[in-house]
A and B are shown apart, each in its own frame.
Chain A
Amino acid sequence: MKIAFELTWRTPLRWLLGLLLVWAALSKLANLQDFYGELLAYRLPLPDFLLRLVAITLPWLELLCGLMLAAEAWTRAVLSWATVLFATFSLATGQAWLRGLEISCGCFNLSLLGLGGSSVFEKVFESVGFAFFRALLLATAAVYLLRQQTTIGSTN
């Protein structure tokens, strides 16, 4: 009964994480230069070339992870990367929130859903505090799925 319950929840959760990763990736790929600017706004203590590298490769890593998560391919590796990504993002947004930096999250482009400009949704969605808690929640979900995957194996 417990295993059936977990199996029922794992698949939709996996698809949700995959969808979010794909959406985040497409938002960044639409304008890489803008994403690089948003990375600079976090004022991370990293050299510029590393920030450029992140701006260039991170969206593709997200996209590949999102697609493979939905397709249930290399699930352990993908979930490991998802955990790393969400945990890192939690740290970045957390430090930006603590320092009171005025930044856009740069994660999700609501105009892809027809919600953009000065809509209320964007204001809430793009706030750094919301981004921090969202990243924490997603990291927790990824860790949960990874633990389940490690325990039961990639049989489904």
Chain B
Amino acid sequence: MTAPSRQSLKPSTPTENRLWVPMAGLLIASFALGFAYNHVSPLGVRSRGAAKSPRTEASVQKPQKGYFNETIAMSLETLVASGKTPSAGIPLANLPPGTLLSSQWLSDTPVPAITWPELKPLLQAGKVLLVDARPAPHYQAEHIAGAISLPPAMSAAELAAFTAKHPKSSSMVLYCATDECPLARKLAGALIEQYGYSDVKVLAGGFAQYRVDEQKAAATVRAVK
């Protein structure tokens, strides 16, 4: 028994040959579902915030060139792995000014959390400094009004400048994308352990929970009206 030839098994109906029809159908369905879901989802894509450039405590983040970030990060991680540094990493203040920080260098100290409903009145009263620990593009896309950006790609010099500007008694709350994201918790731990800040918390649920809470609050206001 011979195998059927490829020629004889080719689809021959006009419908099967019009590949673009089902492809277009899939794309249109994706558009429709996408916009509908984005509209109702509390974590949908919204218009950009007022701040189009990151409000950082240091100079504007320079464009990254070549393998610069990965090379530096890898060399720092090699130092840690070789046991030449304390388990918590080289104290940030002792790092050369141009060194880029890797999140692995920051502490695992437990940090207390605060919810958005608790934080909101403190923020409005100007009693707390809000810090966005997400990468800069996320901050640029959207951030909580009033937050400053301390991205994971910041240098030791930038973090040192931040700590020089804000006294150890400052109340700070850091947030990341969600609770699964470790950036805010690790940076907060480093601020407590290595820079002596006493009143540092993380926002429970991160930016995602803030969006959900704000949407619930807005819905409640509409219901009352």
A→B interface (CB under 8 Å): 2-3, 29-34, 36-38, 40-41, 43, 48, 52, 55-61, 64-65, 68, 74, 76-78, 80-81, 99-104, 109, 111, 116-118, 150-155
Contacts and interface: CB of A to CB of B under 8 A. Distances in A.
A2 B135 contact: no
B34 A153 contact: no
Nearest to A129: B70
A96 to B, nearest CB: 10
Given A37-B141, A74-B22, A76-B19, 10 more contacts: A32-B41, A33-B45, A57-B34, A57-B35, A99-B65, A100-B68, A102-B73, A117-B182, A152-B6, A153-B11
A56 B45 contact: yes
Interface in B88-124: 103-104
A61 B27 contact: yes
Most buried by B among A40, A58, A65: A40
Contacts of B4: 3
B31 A77 contact: no
Chain A, interface SS category? helix
Contacts of A52: 45
A97 to B, nearest CB: 9
B68 A56 contact: no
A93 B68 CA distance: 17
A85 to B, nearest CB: 11
Contacts of B6: 151-152
A151 B9 contact: yes
B138 A40 contact: yes
Interface string B185-208: 000000000000000000000011
B70 A102 contact: yes
14 contacts: A32-B43, A32-B44, A33-B44, A33-B45, A33-B208, A56-B44, A57-B30, A61-B27, A76-B19, A77-B19, A77-B26, A100-B66, A103-B135, A154-B16
Nearest to A73: B22
Given A32-B45, A74-B22, A64 B29 contact: yes
Interface string B123-145: 00000000000110110111000
B64 interface: yes
A120 to B, nearest CB: 11
Interface of B: 3-4, 6, 9-11, 16, 19, 21-23, 25-27, 29-31, 33-35, 37-38, 41, 43-46, 48, 64-71, 73, 103-104, 134-135, 137-138, 140-142, 152-153, 177-178, 180, 182, 207-208, 211
B11 to A, nearest CB: 5
Contacts of B178: 31, 34
A77 B29 CA distance: 14
Contacts of A150: 10-11
A61 B26 contact: yes
Given A2-B3, A74-B22, A151-B10, A31 B30 contact: no
B180 A33 contact: no
A48 B180 contact: no
Given A41-B135, A117-B182, A151-B10, A36 B141 contact: yes
Given A30-B43, A56-B35, A57-B30, A100 B211 contact: no
Contacts of A111: 180
Given A52-B45, A56-B35, A100 B180 contact: no
